[in-house]
A and B are shown apart, each in its own frame.
Chain A
Amino acid sequence: MEVKKGIGVSPGIAIAKSVVIDSEEYRIPRRSIMSSQRKMEIKRVREAFLDAVAELSKLDEAQSIEERKIRDIFAVHMSFLRDRSLRKKITDLIYSECLTAEYAVSTTLREIATRIAQVKDAYISERAADIYDIERRLLKHLLGEKREDVAHLTEEVVVVAHQLSPTQTAGFNRTFVKGIATDVGGRTSHSAIVARSLGIPAVVAVEDVSAAVGAGDMVIIDGNRGVVVISPDDETVREYEQYLRDFERLEHELDAIRDKPAVTRDGTQVQMLGNIEFPDETQIVLAKGGQGIGLYRTEFLYLYNEQEPTESDHYEAYAEAVLAFTYRPVVIRTMDLGADKYTQSKRYTPEPNPCLGLRSIRLCLQDLSMFKTQLRAILRVSVLGDVKIMFPLITNLEELRHAKMILHDVMEDLDEESIPYKHDIEVGIMIETPSAALTAGTLARDVDFFSIGTNDLIQYTLAVDRGNERVATLFSAGEPAVLRLIRAVVQDAYRAKIGLHICGEMASEPEYIMLLLGMGVRTFSLAPPMIPEVKKIIRSVTITDCNQLTRKILTMNSRRQISNYLMDATRKIIPEVF
């Protein structure tokens, strides 16, 4: 039994056999197989070789690679892949030692590479890199096969990987994928967000979990406490099964309050909205008692399609969500690509500092045809319900006015074409940069609502990369600087009498709910599975208590003190959530 600590990013407990995927660039652990499995593994090696040859032939045909040197390298790869004695060396190893195909491929090629690297001739020793390349190519095909396995599961599993892309995570079959553990990532990395939306327990930043877990090992994933237990003993399994039952009971209790209003004990009404990534998630929001969509991320349209989405692609995706919420708010955020998310069709030049680079609204304002296509679709869909537009990453008034000007251009176009839309559609902005937070009073005059995006606001305020596991622990909503900014934005929104939502992860972390209520937040938009839990907290507190707690917190100057105080206060009211 081995216990590993990471960051719990999606709550819940999973106990199941593991599927290990995507170990690219990573040491493949030595795993033995039963002698009856050898034939299968040898077949997999043969198929990996054939696939790799086919892949190379395709590259060659494509002729996009004109550089002779690159073609030479591929020719060498090809000749290795066609070398029967190489394959024999690998299959002999599987046969004599009962090892997995991945391990046999990796060891054999690394052994060759090591031998070559030792030659006292720079020209030859440098060729070791080619051998590593061939290893990677073969492993890609071997592991790719497993990726297929994830798509065609027949039993419950937990997925263990070095890293998962949001696309991979979104593709998981919820019936069978019960948990996720990855080596890297952070609380707000995009696959974590997707895991949370799907309600799959997940733990990230578990260092070398993908190397430590062997395919088929029993694994416990504790998304509540950020723990992964590999090959647990019977007692641990029993403990967790009990814990799982308790957790499910709480879930059940939470479902019971689904249709009850989110109202504090002293009668203050709170609006609970859901954050969604895909149109079909509206069903989860409804199932969890959400009263609308506070954040409709639209990036999936760009990320998961081969071509840039057309106006009707946009329209259909929005209409599905809007129609699911007849006359309840649906806030559509315009494209927030760049930084860690890129479109399929446009390969932007890599930037040295993408989070400070051409992303989000900046990208839209440079690519007007793409931006206008989306705005047209949002406007057209506005007649179907209570649609609002939200611009992300606004940093100053010029940017906001520029974006609004483009919106008005699109409105004029629609007027000319006599296409109906809601003329008084509400326009809001995300407050997610310190610059916007500090000038919220000015920005408020030009918008109908603010939505505080805490993830980016924290990242930019604290200068911490939320996806870098080495500094991820420094990322916290409880930093005094962050709290002061949020407080200021809420006050500015009140003064200007405009709407205010909070849509970052902070809105779904139990310990911050009382504080946010005390600051004056009355609209929460969060990952759908978190809605019942947060509602339960809201229904258990009084605004008087929240105000008192907030006054106290705002006098504190240390994050630790703040976190401890908030934890204690929340635990007193609703001990089950911790």
Chain B
Amino acid sequence: MQAEEASEKLVREITVEIKNEDGLHMRPAMLFVDVASRFSCDIRVSNPECSADGKSIMQMTMLAATQGSKLTIRAVGADAEKAIAALRQLVEGEKFGGVSVSDLTEQKD
């Protein structure tokens, strides 16, 4: 999927700070993965120690980003622009904090 779009390789990168008290625990990580998976571009999330596939809940959980940690999100691919915008909105938005996943999914429906 990525290979086909290699000719049009757009690279976008931002750095965000995890503001919610509980850090990037499983449910926010899951939300992140859900949003990231909607895009075809390659998404890597990294902190100074390691980097993770933004579409893998396992890897995102292992990042273990606590409150205040800074994460670099790097998107490579045709829809990188849109992906970064959506992820920024998610991470910086209020909903990323204490709100539980099911609240969000219910609102989505």
Interface residues in chain A, defined as those with a beta carbon under 8 Å from any beta carbon in chain B: 68-69, 71-72, 75-76, 79-80, 83-86, 89, 112, 115-116, 119-121, 123-124, 127, 130
Contacts and interface: CB of A to CB of B under 8 A. Distances in A.
A196 to B, nearest CB: 47
A130 B30 CA distance: 13
Contacts of B23: 121, 123-124
Given A68-B102, A121-B23, A123-B23, A79 B57 contact: yes
A124 B56 contact: no
A124 B25 CA distance: 6
B22 A79 contact: no
Please list the 4 inter-chain residue pairs (A to B) with the smallest Cβ-Cβ separation, ordered nearest first: A85-B56, A86-B58, A119-B64, A123-B22
> Interface on chain A toward B: helix, strand, loop, or mixed SS?
helix
Contacts of B67: 121
B70 to A, nearest CB: 16
A69 B27 CA distance: 11
Contact of B27 (A72, A84, A119): A72
A116 B30 contact: no
A123 B56 CA distance: 20
A529 to B, nearest CB: 52
Interface of B: 22-23, 25-27, 30, 33-34, 53, 55-59, 61-62, 64, 66-67, 100-103, 105
A150 B105 CA distance: 42
Contact of A83 (B56, B66, B103): B56
A116 B64 contact: yes
B19 to A, nearest CB: 14
Given A75-B27, A85-B56, A86-B57, 8 more contacts: A72-B100, A80-B58, A85-B58, A115-B64, A116-B62, A123-B22, A124-B64, A127-B26
Nearest to B61: A116
22 contacts: A68-B100, A72-B27, A72-B102, A75-B27, A75-B30, A76-B30, A76-B57, A79-B57, A84-B56, A85-B53, A85-B58, A86-B58, A112-B61, A112-B62, A116-B62, A120-B66, A121-B23, A121-B64, A121-B66, A123-B22, A124-B22, A124-B23
A83 B25 contact: no
Nearest to A130: B26
Contacts of B102: 68, 71-72, 75
A84 B66 CA distance: 25
Nearest to B65: A124
Given A72-B100, A85-B56, A127-B25, A79 B33 contact: yes
A94 B34 CA distance: 28
Contacts of B56: 83-86
